[in-house]
Amino acid sequence: MTSNKDKYGEVFTPVELVKDMLNDALVVCGGEELRGCKRIFEPGAGRGVFYETFFEEGGCGWEVDTYIMNEINEEHGDHLRGLVAGAGAGGLGEDEVMIQDLFSVQL
């Protein structure tokens, strides 16, 4: 049986690492310019750890209007749509889930 790691390259990122990555992005990429980003596209959303962490951290001070999660593994679709629909992490209302190969995405 093929694992999701073998099939999709799926590797889960711990929440603490996600927090560090979001904070580092503000420092490395220029805080004020990055905070003005209106749209986030996540190419491999997995189970939505970045989405949940982003909003649990209060959006990290970013002025995002839309957060789009793309995921190739259909098994995660219902969970991701549940995050967005329930705005369980404080979503934006314009958030979207796309279940498709990254190279098929048209924004």
For 65-107, write each residue's pLDDT tens digit.
888 999 999 999 999 999 888 664 455 567 899 999 989 888 7
Distance in angstroms (rounded) separating the CA atoms of residues 68 and 46: 12
User: Could you tell me what percentage of the chain is helix, strand and coil, using 3-state DSSP and rounding each to the nearest 5?
Assistant: 50, 15, 40
Q: 17 pLDDT exceeds 60? A: yes
Q: What pLDDT sits at residue 70?
A: 95
Distance in angstroms (rounded) separating the CA atoms of residues 73 and 3: 12
Q: What are 29-58's pLDDT values in tens digits? A: 776 777 777 888 999 999 999 998 888 877
